[in-house]
């Protein structure tokens, strides 16, 4: 599922008009192709699995986890119903096992209502999500962008974003929070779209394929 075309078109028009540098990047990177992940629980699991390891390794663990849970599907109930040793056999560290179990418990006990979280404001949704072990503000922001389709999220702590801003705006050093927000002010209320294009900068420089519908997670 994708964000409605009319919203993306409005975002692109705004960004190209408000920021000449973003205008150039959009022309180089091409269409905005992000597709939303409506499996909210699965999105959070994938985010936890990806922490501090390569994308390839995280994908391998996710495949082994899916195999472990067959013939069922990934869900809070399924995670709770397998043992720690079984989860460890899929390649999860003890810490990540504890994170997945806490996430599952929060969902099953109703402390995290994923089916209703889309009704909350960005900040209220983040506050709910970061109560779960292993979910920090960055992970919550990725959830807002890639699962809820929120259009004005700016993860200023993201190293790739800071590096892209440094290069694009010809700064002498990585921007701090204040400088990042000063530059990103022109992107509002479509910071998520500009952020996605900042992630794409490395692909643009490498002339990589432009199918980046799930970028970067």
pLDDT tens for each residue of the chain, 217 residues long: 678 999 999 999 999 999 999 999 999 999 999 989 999 999 999 999 988 888 889 999 999 999 999 999 999 999 999 999 999 999 999 999 999 999 999 999 999 999 999 999 999 999 999 999 999 999 999 999 999 999 999 999 999 999 999 999 999 999 999 999 999 999 999 999 999 999 999 888 877 555 555 555 4
**Is the pTM for the entire model greater than 0.75?**
yes
Domain boundaries for CATH 1.10.1670.40 within the chain: 5-35+153-206
Contact present, 194 and 187 (Cβ < 8 Å): yes
How many of the other CB atoms lie within 10 Å of CB of 70?
A: 8
Contact present, 27 and 191 (Cβ < 8 Å): no
Contact present, 152 and 189 (Cβ < 8 Å): yes
User: Which CATH code, of 1.10.1670.40, 1.10.3720.10, 2.40.40.20, 1.20.1080.10, is assigned to 5-35+153-206?
Assistant: 1.10.1670.40
Contact present, 80 and 105 (Cβ < 8 Å): yes
**How many angstroms separate the CA atoms of 83 and 58, rounded?**
20
């Amino acid at each position: 599922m994708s964000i409605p075309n009319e919203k993306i078109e409005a975002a692109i028009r705004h960004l190209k008009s408000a920021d000449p540098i973003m205008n150039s990047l959009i022309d180089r990177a091409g269409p905005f192709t992000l597709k939303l992940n409506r499996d909210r629980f699965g999105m959070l699991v994938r985010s936890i699995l990806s922490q501090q390891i390569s994308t390839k390794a995280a994908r391998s663990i996710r495949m082994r986890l899916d195999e472990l849970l067959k013939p069922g599907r990934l869900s809070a109930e399924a995670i709770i119903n397998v043992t720690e040793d079984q989860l460890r056999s899929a390649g999860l560290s003890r810490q990540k096992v504890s994170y997945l179990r806490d996430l599952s418990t929060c969902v099953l006990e109703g402390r995290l209502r994923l089916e209703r979280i889309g009704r909350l404001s960005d900040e209220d949704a983040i506050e709910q999500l970061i109560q779960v072990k292993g979910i920090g503000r960055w992970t919550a922001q990725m959830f807002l962008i890639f699962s809820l389709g929120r259009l004005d999220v700016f993860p200023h702590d993201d190293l790739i974003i800071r590096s892209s801003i440094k290069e694009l705006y010809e700064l002498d050093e990585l921007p701090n929070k204040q400088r990042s927000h000063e530059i990103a002010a022109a992107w509002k209320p479509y910071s998520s779209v500009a952020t996605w294009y900042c992630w794409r900068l490395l692909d643009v420089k490498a002339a990589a394929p432009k199918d980046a519908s799930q970028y970067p997670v």
